[in-house]
Every structure is written in C-alpha cells, then in structure tokens.
Structure 1
Amino acid sequence: MSAGTRRLTAALAVAVSTLAGVVAGAASAQAETVSIHVAPNGDDNNPGTAEAPVATPAKAQQLARTQAAANNDVTVLLAGGTYRLAAPLVFTTADSGRGGHPVTWQAEAGQTPILSGGIRVTGWTLQDAGQNIWVAPVPQGAEARQLFVDGALAPRASIPIARDDVQITTTGMNILNPALRYLATLPQQNRIEVESQNSFTNRYAPVQSISGTTITMQQPAWNNNNWGYDTLARPFGGGQLFLENSYSFLRGTGQWYLDPQAGKLYYKAPAGWAPASHDVELPRLESLLHISGSYADPVHDITFEGLHFEHTTWLTPGTPVGYANQQSGTFIPTSYPMPGDFLSSCQSGCPQFEGARNGWAQVPAAVQVSAATAITFSGNTFTHLGQVALGIGNDANAHDSGIGLGASSITVDRNTFTESSGGAIVVGGVRPDAHHPANPAMVNKDITISNNTVNGVAKDYKEMAGILATYVTHAVITHNEVANLTYDGIDVGWGWGANDPGGSQDYRNRGLYNYQPVYTTPTTLRDTVVSYNRVHATKRLMHDGGSIYNLSANPGASIDHNHIYDNNRTVGLYLDEGSRYVNLSNNVIQDSGVWAFTNASGTNNTNDSTFAGNWYNGGSTAVATGPPHNNVLSGNVQVSGTNWPSGAQQVIAAAGVGGSTPPPTGTPIRAVGSGKCLDVNGGTTTAGTQLQIWDCNGASNQRWARTASGEFRVYNDTSPLCLDASGRGTTNGTQVVIWTCNGQNNQQWNVNANGAITGAQSGLCLDVSGAGTANGTKVQLWTCTGAANQQWRLG
C-alpha cells in the first residue's frame, strides 16, 4: 500500500464513526458497519461522527457513497428536526449497497427527522380586519397549489358555481348568471381555475382570460377535459363545479391565496388567530427523492426507515396542460386530433379519443422509485404532500430520472400515509411498455405493500384510490388499513381488457385497434394478492368504482380475507371490464349497496372469476354467471345484521395492520374439462402419492393454498404438503404428486391466462391423463396443447 493510500485510509477513518471500530479502508477484505450522523445543527465540514455530525442529507449521501463502494454496511442516522431540501435527493446505482451489504437511511432512535420540500411562512400582518385576512411575504415567483397549516391541508380560495350558471363551449364558458359578471374585473385571470368533481374523474382547467360574459380557457387543458368519458362538460353523475385561485374567492375560513408576482401569501384565518402560535408551510419542491438506476444496472439494497417525507406540490394542473383526468391519477398531457363537434359526439367516447389512450400520463410522486430492486421503506411517514406520496415503477413520464418501470423486490411496510393531495401508493405504469415491455427488465414484479396505514389521502385529486397497482407481476397488498377516501380503497389492474390476449370486442367497436395492435400474449399483470386488509370510510364523494377493485385479466389473483365496511352503500368487490381469473374468497363485506359486482357485457370479457366463501350482510349480488361469462358464485353466506359467524369474525380480527395471518385453508383447483377437482386420493398424507381428479366436495384434500413463491399447498392448516413434479421430472408423463415442501422449482407453478397451470421448472402443463373425466383419473405433466384437460380454474 502506498503512502498516499495510507493517508487516504486514515482520513476516512477519522471522517466516519463505526459501530465495530475504525474503518479499515476500501481495500479491506473485512466489511465494517459504518454510521454517518446528520443533524440540523451540524456542519457539512464535520466528519459525520456522533460528536460532529454533518448538517445536510446531501453531504451524508456523499460520505455514504464512499463507504458503500468499499463494501461496508452503511447506516445514515438522521437526528430529529427539519431538513429543508433545496433540491430532491437523487439516488443512483452509486448509492447502492454492495456485496450484500445494505445502505440504510434511518431516524436516530426516538427522533423524528423531516425531509421537507417547503418553507415556513412567517412575518404575518393583518391585511383585512373585517374579513380577518392576513398576509405574509414569500419569495417572489414562488408557486404552489398546496398550503399546510398546523399539519392540515388548507383549502385554496374557491367558490362553488352551479352548472347552469355557465354554458360550456369549445373555447371556454359563457357566463349565464349575472351575479358572476364581476369575474371580468378580476386581476390575474390566467391564475383562476375551474374544478369539476365528477363520477370517477376530478378535473382542473385554467382560465386564459375573461371579457364580458366570455371566459376563454387555456388549451389544450380545456379541450382535453371535455372529450372522452365523464367529462367536465357532461359528467356521468352530475358533480360540483368550482372556481378557484383568486383573492376575490377568499370567502371561507381557512382558505388561502398565493400571489407569486407580488411575493405575498394571503390567509383567511379563524377568529382569534395568532400567527406566532401556528406553523404554516408552503411547499416549494415537486418531489423529494428520486431513486433510479438503469435497466442494466438498477439501484439496489437501500432501506429508508423512520423518516418523514413532507411539503411538496405539483404544478402541472395550473399550466396549459391542466389536469384532464381520465381515471386514478392519469391525465391527457398534450393535444390530439379531435372531432370538431366533440362536445356532442365524444361525450361517451369516440374513435379519435382512443388514439389518445396510449399517451396518458401519470401523476408523479413525491418519492419516486424505478429501475430499482431490493428497496425497502419501513416505518416512515408520508404526509403534507401535493401529489402521489410514493410512486413505484410508474411510466417514465412520472419519473424525473426519465426512466420508468423496472421495479422489483420493493417492500413498503409499516408506513403511515396521510394528509396528501394524491393517492398514497401507485405501483406500475399504464403505457404499452408497462403491459408488454420492450425490455424484460422493465417488468414491475414482486412488490410487497404490508401493514401500512392509509388515512385521508387523495384530498385534491379525489379520483385516486388509497393504493393502486396497475401492471405488476406479483404484487402483494396485505394487512393494510385504508380509510377516509373520496374514491376507492385498493385498486389493481389497468386496461379494461383491451390489452389482454385477443383484445376486447368492446374496444374493437370503439376503434382502439386503429391505433394499437391486438396483443396475442398476456400482460405483465398476474398473481396479485390482496389479503387481510381493512378498507372502510371510502366512496365519500365519487360513486363509481369499488372498495376493492380489479381491472383486466389477472391470472392467479386472489382477493381474500379482507374486511370492507362503511363505503356509502356502494360496491364492495368490483370486477371491472375484462377482469378474468380472479379468485375472491373469505372476504367480509358489511353494509354495501352491491356486495359483489362484475361489469360484464357481451363484448368485454369480464369472465372466469370466482366469488367463494364470502360473508355479507346485505346488498345485491350483481355477478354474471353462466355462459359466456362463466363467473362462479360458490358458498357465499348472507348474515343478519352483524351476527358474523366465527369464520367471518376471525377475518375481521386478523384484517388490518398487525393482524396475524392464519395459514390459508386454500380453494379448489377445478379441472375445466371434467368439472372435477384436483384431489389427494383418500385424504392421504403419504409423500409421493400421485394426484387425481374427483367430484368436488370441499374437503381438505381438495383445498389448495397458493403461496407467494408459487407453491400450491394442501392441508395447509395442519401439516402442509406441496404440489410436486415427481423426481424433478421434466418429461411428458411425469407424475404430479404431493411431497414435503422444500422450496425447489419443481414445486413452483405458474397460473396462466389461458387456464393452464405450468411447472416453473419444466414449462410443462398440469394435465389430466388421457383427457379422462372419470373419478380417479391421474394427473401428470405434459406438453401444453391448449386442450380442455389442461385447463384449470382456481376457486
């Protein structure tokens, strides 16, 4: 080792404290555990020890990169206090843990570090004593759509208007109510916005100018908000209109208005308000963390624990783009060719509108994760955010890195999401690379969302669910509490069946396939698990959708053991257009208007799903059974009031954060060709017994529980055994048996969109020997043919 290298190693040892002693340097074969300390009263010239912490996360990141490159375990410890970021923190592959040694960013024990994108507003003076309007200076040019007062999202200055107060035109609105003519006298008219709260969309469009009784709106926001479905001009379910963001609209207590040109913030305070006693936070940044590598070299092995992410805004809705919302945080971001008479001809879709569908954008998140693997968020708080809180593998347009998708093995556990403008968590994208990726590394997969509290989010973009996962392979959403939402609780899937194999006749009729192919292969959406969640106090404003909702084919999906209640008597379990291969079992649905619903028509393939063993205490059943849809209702139980039987009570007790998950008892695997069930002969537990088909009887030897790793387990509530390719065989005729579960890939199975169950090791199909239909016919592996004796249905 050279003298220069020895001096460098010595310098590093001084710069960083360790839990195990002095750092040995980058060339050391023995990894150290390195701690880097950060505190608001620190100094970035300090070495980052406990006694001499650095002041900023950015400086800590520099030190952490050096230590990670030396294959050390690195922990960045943030002391309590507020860290006001001048720019988002950007995490690339340089920030990854190396050689199996993680990098952890976490709070000091018992302390609350806040990563803030905002400024605290002070210097208040009384502007209008009669109206109790106060004013404070802010940086000139500062722009924001949110303000947080004492930890709560404050409403912007706004007034409601009736829909018949105005007449919608292709360029804007004509004022019909004489009481609104004063609008033409207002200053800064191009900062005024129209908000329309609809059936399943929540739309924003900015004004350009007002002259006399003519309001001219900014484009393309106005046109894009007024064609397609559930438009601003013609919402499906009525809905309220508002005018927002003018000083003259400061009429309600708690409202605020920002004048960037003058650098002034106005607040209509409650009586007796004393500014020095209140915390007012104005967000400046549009995001806080960008975590993104590349598809070839994803960022990896980073954990964030015990941190608070706060104070962001999202400015796009106030620009000429507006917020031409389509559903669940998607919007049209640019202009498209439109029919000249779109206000009449395109209020429930039209062919040109289909041409815009693949260009929809997603709301970006405050914390963004893409091209990443083995990233964990644990015990954090996401609050006071002006858009989606956490975005995982969204389309590239929603990531400031410019790289979307590509998220795998991401864990979001025991976090709190509250008081934010958009949804809590959005996983996946909506554009073609999300459902049929050009690069396999783009696939979002193995995302776990567990034990999180989601309460009171989507406050500005009210059409967003608490948790949304679109095109994801194996998303597990379990033991969360999701509550107090204007729209849905948990939504999975995307695409309305239009991107599934063979397409959708509905979308063929609409003209979508003039603009995209009819795909012959499945999407990346599969193996979703939504289990043991407590979903309540949803649907507070928008009636469309459901408390738990699926969209499009989702092979291997299970929605089970969830407790749903207090949803404004709307839909509990909702399978929307194109939903297929979903098993919905052992859920408790309380006081829903419709407890189970399939949006099925002769053209949309909402088929082949099973509602089995659920409990409900009222509401209609609207499930399309029999040909051509072949959805199944089996063993569901209606109870009186809240006299839930013991099984339902166990679900209620186990659902939500921290609830224990009993071993799943499983569901039948039904052979389509015979109508019989996959069966262990005589209920034996002898390893090596070849499986057969038998009349379905619901006994434990016919109930198979699918695990997160792709196993099928029988007798799972006692001594589980696994569905196994005997002897790890990969040839036609290999016996399918029960065997002690061992985690090997001959015990892992894929459930495919065409009804086939294939071995992960062999790629061969689960096959009823000789296409037999008699009791006792044996089950084996065989080359996949697509025949009925190789098709199975779960549930």
Structure 2
Amino acid sequence: MRIVTVAAHLVTAVATVAAVGAVPGRAPDLLYAAPSGHGSACSAAAPCDLATARDRVRGVLPHARGDVVVELSGGTYRLTSPLKLGVQDSGAPGHQVVYRAAPGQHPVLSGAIQVTGFRKTDPAKNIYRASVPKGTAGRDLFVDGVRAPRARSAQDPAGFSVTATGFATADPSYTSWTNASQVEVVANNAWKQLRCPLASITPGASGGSALTVDPGCWNNNHSAVPNPGFPFNGAGLPTLDRVTWLENAYQLLGTPGQFYLDSAAGYLYYVPRPGEDLAKADVELPVAPELLDLAGTPGHLAPLNDSDWRATYTGSWSYSSGRPTGDLGGDVHYTQQNGDAFSYTFTGTGLQVLTETNSDEGDMDVYVDGAKVSTASAKSAERLAQQAVVSVTGLPQGKHTVRVVKTSGDYLLIDGFTVIPEAIAPVHDISFSGLTFAYAAWNAPSTAGYVDNQAGVLWDPATHAPVRIPAAVQVHRGARIAFTGVTVQHTGTAGIDFADQTQDSTLSGSSVDDTSGGGVAVGEVDDYYQTQPALMTSGNTVSGNNIQHPGQEYQDAVGVWVGTSRGTTLAHNDIGYTPYSGVSIGWGWGWASSCALQAKQGLPDPCKHGTTYTGGNHVTANHVHSVMGVLNDGGPVYTLGGQASGSDFTGNVLGECVNGCNEIYHDEGSSLWDTHGNVVRMSNGSPWLHLWTPTIHDDHIYGNYSDTAQYQNNGTDITLEQSTVVPDGRWPAAAQAIIDAAGPGTPRGPVIDDDDLRISYLGTWSSSGSRNDGDLENGVHYSQQNGDSAAITFTGTGIGFLTETNSDEGDIAVTLDGVSKGTVSAKTAQRQGRVPVYSVTGLAAGQHTLTVSKASGTYFLVDGFRIY
C-alpha cells in the first residue's frame, strides 16, 4: 500500500478550529453521523447516517446563528449513490455548513463493495474466484489499497494489422476467447489513449483471428474521428490504428495482481500477488459512480446550434454551412434585410444569442416577451465568431420569448444560443475536512469506448460534444466550497472536479492519489464565449496538495486540468508520477490568436477566430515531477490557448520528464504569460522552454534557471531571456530559494523518493522513469561519474539509503554529518530495487546530513531514503 501523507491530518485540525470559529462567541450547531448510524437524533450518543444528517441540517439552517457542523465518526460509509447536496444545503458567508472528521477519527466514504470468499479455481495459473451479485459492473479493483489492473496482453503484441472493421492476426488462438464483447482494444498514440470494446472475434479469412471492433466506437476512434477544430481541438488526429494491448479476457489471466470480472455470471477472478492472502485481504470493487455531488442551478450550460428546430427565422433569411470561420457547427443563418427577426421561445430564466461580429454588421433590437429591452451591436473591427452579443438573464422562471430584429448594417448572423433553464443559484458555503473519499466507478467505456480528445477531455460517443471523465467528488456551480485536509484516492474516475462555472472554491492541504482519470479539474471547455461574470469559472484555488498517480487507467489524463477560467490559483502543490502532463491549463488552441498569426502558422484564411474570458491565472511555487511516463508531447506544466488578461507562471520547480517532453510548454495560442523565476532540473535532454508556433504570442519569459540551455522560440512578440544554465546542480542562492519554497512544504512520510526536493544532486545526474524494475515510484536518479553525490538534510534519529543494485554498479562512499562512514557496495549478480545498502539509527534527535557519492562501477543509482 502506498504511504499516505499525515500532513493532511495536521491541516485538518487547524481547519476544523478555523471553521468552527467563524462566528466568534457562537457555538456551532453540532450533529453526529456514523457508518452504522440510524434514527434521526443525530446526537453523540445516537448518531445517524449521512443522508439523515444532511436532512437534519436543512431543518437547522433557518435558525442557525453560526456554523452547522456534521461530525463523522471513523469507519467506512458504504455508498451506492453519492451524498447529494444542493442549494438548500448551503450555509452563508461567514458561517458554513461543515462536514468534518471527528477528532482522531478517519471516516471513509466508499463506493465499493467488499468481495470475500475467494477459492482457487485454476491451480496452474493460480487463479482464484469469488462470487459477486450477477450484473455487477466494474472496471477497477483494489486489494489492500493497491490497484489491480484488468487482465491484459503483453505490451505491443506483434502480428496485428488494421482491417476495415478492426484488426487481424495470423494467430488463431484469439477465437477461443470467451465473452468477446467484454474484450477491449487499447491504443496509445502520441498524446492520446483510445479504447474500444470488440464486437466479435471470428476466424480470419485465411486462418488466424479477426477482431471486429464495436462499429460505433471504431467510427469515432478510427474512421471518422471528431474534428471540429478551434476552439474544441487542434489539427492533430491520432487514431486507433494499432494494438498497444488487449484487455479484459479471462484467457489473459495469469499475471499476479490482475483480475477479470464476469458480470453476467457473477464471478470475480483474481491472481494474487506474492504474499497476498485472499482470506485476509481487503478486496474492494468500486460500483458507485460518484461519492459526493454538490450541485447548484443551472447545471451545465452548452450552446445549441442556430439550426435547432425551436429557432424561428422571420423574413428573407439564408443558411450557410461548411463555413471555415469558427462558427458553432460551421454554419449560420443570415439576413441582409432590416426588420428580419430571429425568435426563440423557451422555459427558463435567460437566453444568450451567439452571433458572428464583423465590420459589415450592425445593430439589432432585442425584445423579451414583446417588449424591447435593449439594442445590441454586432459591429467589430475584425471578424469574431461565437460572440454572445445578446445576453438576457435574470428573468422570472417560466416561459419566455426572446426576439432579435435587424436594424442596421449589411448583415445579421445568428450562430447559436444558450438557454439558461433555471435561476443562477450556486450551492455555497459548505466545507469538508479530514474525510477520505475512495472507490468510485465509471463504466461507460465498457460499452461506448473511450473517445479521446486530449488530457481527459473526450468526445461524447453519440453527440460528439466535448465531455470529461466524471469525478468521485463533483462540484457543479459551487461558490465558496472548501475542501481542507481531505483524501481522494483509489478511484475508477477522476478525483475532484470544480465544474460548471464554480467560483471562489478551494482544495487545500489535501491528497489526491491513484485515480483512473485526472486528479483535479477546474472549469469547462465550452463556455469560452461567456460575457456574464456569474456564468464564468473564477477565483478558485488549488494549493498545498499532493496530487499523484493520476491516469492509472486513462493514460491521457493529467494531475491538474484547468479549462476556461479566470483568477485560478495553482500554488505550492506537489504533482507527480503522471502518464501524461503534470498540469494542463487553458483550452482553445489558436482560437483567440488573430487571423494574421494563424496565417503565420500556416492555418487557412479565413480563420477560426473568437474570444475567451480566460486570464488572470497564477501557477506559482509548484513542484511538478516524474511526468510523461507513458505518452508524449506534453510536459510538467502545459499551457494552451489565448487569454483575455495576463497570467503568471513563477517559482515552480519542474523536472524528471520520462518521455517526449517540454519542460515549460506554452503550446498553440498561449499568450500573455509572465513566466519567470522557475527552476528546471533533471531535464534529461528536454528543452527548458518550447514555443513552437507563431500563434504563441506576447509572453514574457525571463529570470529562469535550468540545467540545459536548449529551448525553442517560434512565437510572436516574445520577450525572452535565456535561462541561467546550471549543469551540475550547484544552484545559485536565488535558484535554491525557489527550490526550497516549492511544493506543500510538509514531509509526505518516512519514505522519500529520489524526486524529493530535499535531495541535492551534485554532478552530471539524470533521471529514469517507467523502469518496471521494482524501484520506488518506478524511477531513479543516476550518474556515471565518480565523485558525483546526492545529499539530504533531515530531522530525525536515523536514515536509510535505498538504491538499485546490479552487476554494473559498484561502491558508494557514505558521509554522515561530515564524517566518513566508509563505503558500501551496490554490486550484485542480479538487479534488485529498493535495496537499503546503508542505514543508521540511534542518532541524537535533530538535524543531520547524509551524503552518498559514486566511488566505482559503471552506474550509481539513487532510489530514495527512509527517515527514522
């Protein structure tokens, strides 16, 4: 089981005191919940269940004069559906509704069923079987807190060729596989992971096996990949054109730690890892799709196309489709006749009308329910697509008609509209502290496949609208929602999501670890056109967190994803061990860059060009490391798309890229970034900066430090200063201060990985990840130069040094507090990981420094340290 930080519990205690003390002199209303709670007393002596506690809060809120607190006792709260909180469950500015762990307790909200009763059914392959309810669906399994992948083939199996309907191989053995429709083909291609279920496995025309992919998924992932272009995706379309592995067949079982679920028969099969006793193990099968859901109104807002059947056009309107100018759906309705009108009748509280603005357009009168309310203008100096020129909000709930009448200019274009179905009412002023959320399930890819766009943003298999992997903890249209000292872990979903234009909400001092999708998400991808502050994602903060091991199932996912947003702060987080980028912030590619810059990039003219409200974001003092473990074309921090106002990127420490990587990666359209005071270390041949195309513009990049001089700058109007290059780890004081200040600033446990910022590497060091050699966190730092050293200053009474031993390694010189302790050897006949070649205990309590140096051999590897 991975070591979980204890620092979050310290933060929780502080946060609990702060939350309860929000109104000085007023004791909070206090309710109690327990896993086995019942009744409605919700008292310390007779606690209730969580849903009852929530309902009791609703009764208390109208009379509360301070915080209303629900205190959860320790244990596992097994959920089959999420705990749902809405507007009626909200607190108020200055006094919150608080859900917190009882002192010294560790409550876990779990979406799993516990599986017991395993019996060995195949001694030759060491396969065990247990019964689960028939029809139980699940893609993920955890044994004693360790993820167990579904049974899969070897990586990149040989002999497959692409056919019109899937794949073919000369190997006939696949035709013996049972439950072919449960088998999944997976392809990693550039920055994408693509998945499809099979429809059948049949004998091939010339022998062998024909693997027919589900036709709908094959179309989406291979034959007709969605490609609307800016602002929804870029030009690249990696497709499902290879077999990286096959997954989820009983016949693939045999590797320890893998499982297969036969849903129809009601059997779970598992091959235990060495040392696992299934009679004693905690085997958890996630089944609940979500654990916590906070939802204000309205929910997700997405624009509808101008061709929607409910739109009425009166007069001499024409219709233009296939337009290359960035219009929604590539089409518009247009008229040249003053007095022509567009109208739309809806039930709700508002309507936004999207038009294309340009120099040849003019004014329009806006009527609501027959009364003129305003005159709007579509005239602009340059062509801009998808502009919310008309925005009617705040209407009383009910049936309304908005009518737009052309009054001047050569043209009036209608591109789309967004219905606001309910009053804008966020769920607000609710906080959570000290809780653990674990084991949530997402099963949609099992039937519809995984149609990837980028970074955990997908295409809906039916509508091709952009969608995202759902999270275990979801906030929809929240305001002042706070998570402090919580843990989100072991999920078949993403971790936590501030969605649907959530504002002024925080995740702090917490841990998000081991998620199938991304770790933390903020914002949306389809609200770039918004002009109304109440309908924007803004003011959210993700700070002081450990966010690690995202993308464990869907390997395109990232540690922190931020879409369209303004005023988002990412600060002092430790983000690492990711299969793709560590942080992805922004969306839209070159959408907000001018047509002139798009032409410089070689894009067509006329171009797809519009606006975004993104801006004023802060990426500060994060440690982002050990990224790009599987895919390529990303980096520790990856920015995308233009901004309406400047953002800053400062004080971050970035490094340990595994595959094709750019350390500071301002990608297509990135603009108005102030990028300074960052440290790039262990670049491993990657450039410290990557600006590849002219739509990247007006960025200021200066005062950075790196261990490489390599960079690329093809941007426009870039203020660029070469980094201070430090190739040997002897960082100047200013750079060392950045290193010391980055990350959460609290120890994560007694075992320290080789990526830890407390370790100083002097000499010609590199890092290596995705090794699969048993190393701590699957990676090491290494040197081939005698005299190169690694030093760590720690507080404790002892320390152990962990390395990887092998026949090509040699002696290691050890110095403790400046005193030589001789040498130890890392030379062994066989490769071994996590070997404690040196340890000492019984030191005087206090601060000590251990230095290990290469004395002989071809390689010297640092795997980590254990502090006592």
Structure 1-normalised TM-score?
0.70
Which amino acid counterpart does residue 75 of structure 1 have in structure 2? V
Q: Which moved more, 1:298-307 or 1:546-555?
A: 546-555
Q: Deviations over 1:29-77 (max 9, x none)?
A: x97621111112332x1411111111x2111111111112323420000
What corresponds to 2:244 in structure 1?
241
Which amino acid counterpart does residue 325 of structure 1 have in structure 2? D
Offset of residue 640 of structure 1: 2.8
Contact 1:422 1:458 in 2 (8 A): yes
Contact 1:200 1:230 in 2 (8 A): no
Which amino acid counterpart does residue 670 of structure 2 have in structure 1? S
For the structure 1 residues 231 and 306, does the alpha-carbon distance in structure 2 shift closer, same or farther, using more than 3 Å as the test? same
What corresponds to 1:588 in structure 2?
679
Which amino acid counterpart does residue 441 of structure 2 have in structure 1? T
Which amino acid counterpart does residue 211 of structure 2 have in structure 1? I
Q: State which of 713, 716, 734 in structure 2 corresponds to 1:647.
A: 734
Query: Which residues in structure 2 correspond to 1:545-584 (within 5 Å)?
Result: 545-554=634-643, 555-568=645-658, 570-584=661-675
Q: State which of 357, 369, 388 in structure 1 corresponds to 2:475.
A: 369
SS at match of 2:215: coil
Offset of residue 279 of structure 1: 0.6
Of structures 1 and 2, the one scoring higher in RCO (CA 8 A, sep 6+) is 2
Q: Deviations over 1:230-250 (max 9, x none)?
A: 534458xxxx61111110010
Q: Distance in 2 between matches of 1:132 and 1:230?
A: 42
What corresponds to 1:40 in structure 2?
35
What corresponds to 1:745 in structure 2?
none
Q: Deviations over 1:551-589 (max 9, x none)?
A: 012331111001112123731100100111111100000
Matching of residue 297 in structure 1 with residue 425 in structure 2: yes
The root-mean-square deviation of aligned C-alpha atoms, in Å, is 2.4
SS at match of 1:487: coil
Q: Distance in 1 between matches of 2:247 and 2:69?
A: 45
What corresponds to 1:92 in structure 2?
86
Which amino acid counterpart does residue 589 of structure 1 have in structure 2? V
Q: Distance in 2 between matches of 1:317 and 1:512?
A: 38
Q: Deviations over 1:451-495 (max 9, x none)?
A: 000121211111111011111101100000011111111111111
Q: State which of 633, 638, 656 in structure 1 corresponds to 2:725.
A: 638
SS at match of 1:62: helix
Q: State which of 456, 465, 468 in structure 2 corresponds to 1:329.
A: 456
What corresponds to 1:407 in structure 2?
502
Offset of residue 172 of structure 1: 1.6
Unaligned runs of 5+ in 2: 1-16, 18-24, 205-209, 228-235, 299-423, 748-868
Contact 2:619 2:650 in 1 (8 A): yes
Contact 1:198 1:230 in 2 (8 A): no
What corresponds to 1:607 in structure 2?
697
Offset of residue 619 of structure 1: 5.0
Q: Distance in 2 between matches of 1:94 and 1:158?
A: 46
SS at match of 1:248: helix
Structure having the higher helix fraction is 1
What corresponds to 1:123 in structure 2?
117
Contact 2:478 2:498 in 1 (8 A): no
Q: Distance in 2 between matches of 1:392 and 1:512?
A: 37
Q: Distance in 2 between matches of 1:57 and 1:630?
A: 56
What corresponds to 1:143 in structure 2?
137
Q: Distance in 1 between matches of 2:188 and 2:252?
A: 18
Contact 1:119 1:282 in 2 (8 A): yes
For the structure 1 residues 46 and 91, does the alpha-carbon distance in structure 2 shift closer, same or farther, using more than 3 Å as the test? closer
Contact 2:29 2:64 in 1 (8 A): no
Contact 1:170 1:223 in 2 (8 A): no
What corresponds to 2:713 in structure 1?
623
Query: Which residues in structure 2 correspond to 1:338-487 (within 5 Å)?
Result: 359-393=465-499, 405-431=500-526, 434-437=527-530, 440-487=533-580
Q: State which of 198, 203, 219 in structure 2 corresponds to 1:223.
A: 219
Q: Distance in 1 between matches of 2:283 and 2:641?
A: 44
For the structure 1 residues 272 and 373, does the alpha-carbon distance in structure 2 shift closer, same or farther, using more than 3 Å as the test? closer
What corresponds to 1:675 in structure 2?
none
SS at match of 1:91: strand
Which amino acid counterpart does residue 51 of structure 1 have in structure 2? A
What corresponds to 1:201 in structure 2?
192
Q: Distance in 2 between matches of 1:81 and 1:465?
A: 30
Q: Distance in 2 between matches of 1:612 and 1:361?
A: 36
For the structure 1 residues 106 and 506, does the alpha-carbon distance in structure 2 shift closer, same or farther, using more than 3 Å as the test? farther
Which amino acid counterpart does residue 108 of structure 1 have in structure 2? A
Offset of residue 377 of structure 1: 0.5
Q: Which moved more, 1:473-482 or 1:487-496?
A: 487-496
Offset of residue 270 of structure 1: 2.8
What corresponds to 1:526 in structure 2?
615
What corresponds to 2:285 in structure 1?
282
Q: Deviations over 1:659-681 (max 9, x none)?
A: 79xxxxxxxxxxxxxxxxxxxxx
For the structure 1 residues 99 and 634, does the alpha-carbon distance in structure 2 shift closer, same or farther, using more than 3 Å as the test? closer
Q: Distance in 2 between matches of 1:139 and 1:501?
A: 57
Matching of residue 316 in structure 1 with residue 444 in structure 2: yes
Offset of residue 112 of structure 1: 0.6
Q: Distance in 1 between matches of 2:580 and 2:244?
A: 18
Contact 2:40 2:52 in 1 (8 A): no
What corresponds to 1:306 in structure 2?
434
What corresponds to 2:43 in structure 1?
49
Contact 2:81 2:289 in 1 (8 A): no
SS at match of 1:184: helix
SS at match of 2:153: strand
Which amino acid counterpart does residue 560 of structure 2 have in structure 1? I
Matching of residue 103 in structure 1 with residue 97 in structure 2: yes
What corresponds to 2:71 in structure 1?
77
Contact 1:595 1:616 in 2 (8 A): no
Q: Distance in 2 between matches of 1:616 and 1:168?
A: 44
Offset of residue 161 of structure 1: 5.8
Which amino acid counterpart does residue 483 of structure 2 have in structure 1? F
Q: Deviations over 1:405-459 (max 9, x none)?
A: 220001110110111111110111112xx21127542200001000000121211
Offset of residue 99 of structure 1: 6.2
Contact 1:616 1:637 in 2 (8 A): yes
Q: Distance in 2 between matches of 1:614 and 1:482?
A: 20
What corresponds to 1:505 in structure 2?
598
Matching of residue 259 in structure 1 with residue 262 in structure 2: yes
Q: Distance in 2 between matches of 1:215 and 1:512?
A: 42
For the structure 1 residues 609 and 88, does the alpha-carbon distance in structure 2 shift closer, same or farther, using more than 3 Å as the test? same
Q: Deviations over 1:77-120 (max 9, x none)?
A: 00000000121111100100036421000101111100011111
Which amino acid counterpart does residue 645 of structure 1 have in structure 2? P
For the structure 1 residues 376 and 271, does the alpha-carbon distance in structure 2 shift closer, same or farther, using more than 3 Å as the test? closer
Structure having the higher strand fraction is 2
Structure 2-normalised TM-score?
0.64
